[in-house]
Amino acid sequence: MRLGGPARYVIEIEKPDDIPKAYNFAHKNNLPVFILGYGANTIGHDEGFEGVIIINRMCGIELLSEGVAALEGDPKMFCEAKILGREKSRQDPLHIKIMGGEYWDNVVAFACERGLTGIEALSKIPGLAGAAPVQNIGAYGQEIADTLVEIEVYDTATNTFKTLQKSDLHFSYRKSLLNTTEKGRYFVISITLALKKGQMPRPFYNSIERYIAENNCTDFTPQGIREIVSKIRADKLPDPLTTPSAGSFFKNIYLNDEEARLAEQKGYPVYRGHDGNKINSGWLIEQAGFKGALLHGIRVNDKAALVLINESAKSYQDLASARSEIVNKVYDKFGYRLEQEPEEITT
């Protein structure tokens, strides 16, 4: 969002041995720690961060099912996903290990190029692989919990390296152990996914089905779905590299079956998927009259009202004021309380 002040210290992690050193430095100097990924889903405060920000720069992809290691990645924000050897040709799941500093969309491209399904709908989500399980990233009917097997972490409570299984992470919508009960405890070194040859089952998410119908698409391979999702996102969502935005600013509204029934009786569009019943918060914001509006320097995207863009805001308070106006009006009109998705950097 291009808001917030400076951090006192920033430490970049290029190998696992760097992790305890970084935490020891913070501990000796009595400083708080914030783990930052790509930063696209993070908002800073005006006073900055009087502590240590740790960034994961460990990159690489490995096909565990074949025992083939990726070439070492360049320890920078964008890392090339390269691989040696042959792919697995059977229908069994392929277990893929990804270092936490790998750029997430490289991972999706890597999988789709090999005809592997499971994460193709997560194309073009800005961020690093290590952040994917933290908030259980999801889009267009898929989420990381669907394919995640385990993660390697550094446990700051015991100062040890360990492996956490999927069942340990208590996944739910945009939540996991990592951003709730044990927030800040674990530094994610790598994640392991189980993907398969094949295609996403139909029906697809509404936005994908609509695009298919409007454009007469016939390619539903992982690569085909990736291209469709990429085009949908490019049309609706600004690139955070060029436009100050945190992507989807509010979480969607999840409803139980009775709440969904009542919402449908009122004419609200309820999406019923394998992950539950939900109303798109962007629809609520649009119906509340905010689509395209400029509030305190924050523009509500005219193509996807769920997205807020920093057009001329100068402070965190500008964003907070815009957020409050949107949240309060949606609540007054519909009775649903919007919840912010991006995390905030606070001491």
**Interhelix angle 206-215/222-236, nearest 10 degrees:** 100
In order of 43, 149, 243, 330, 345, the CA distances from 6 in angstroms are 12, 36, 20, 33, 11
Question: Which residue is catalytic, options 174, 226, 299, 323?
Answer: 174
Q: From the CB of residue 259, how many other CB atoms can be counted at a distance below 10 Å?
A: 15
Output the six-digit token pair for 331: 């609540």
Cα–Cα distance, 134 to 129 (Å, whole number) = 10
Which residues, other chains included, contact 342 with Cβ-Cβ below 8 Å and sequence gap of 6+? 1, 41, 42, 43, 246, 247, 249
Question: Which residue is catalytic, options 248, 281, 323, 343?
Answer: 248
Q: Residues 69, 62: contact at Cβ < 8 Å?
A: yes
Helix (H, G, I), strand (E, B) or coil at 218: coil
**Is 72 part of the annotated catalytic residue set?**
no
In order of 94, 274, 298, 323, the CA distances from 246 in angstroms are 32, 26, 12, 13
**Is 312 part of the annotated catalytic residue set?**
no
**CA-closest candidate to residue 232, choices 253, 205, 194:** 205
Cα–Cα distance, 198 to 115 (Å, whole number) = 7
Work out the burial of residue 20: count CB atoms within 10 Å of its CB; fewer than 13 is exposed, 13-18 middle, 19 or more buried: middle
Q: Residues 73, 101: contact at Cβ < 8 Å?
A: yes
**Is 321 part of the annotated catalytic residue set?**
no
Q: Active-site residue numbers?
A: 174, 248, 341
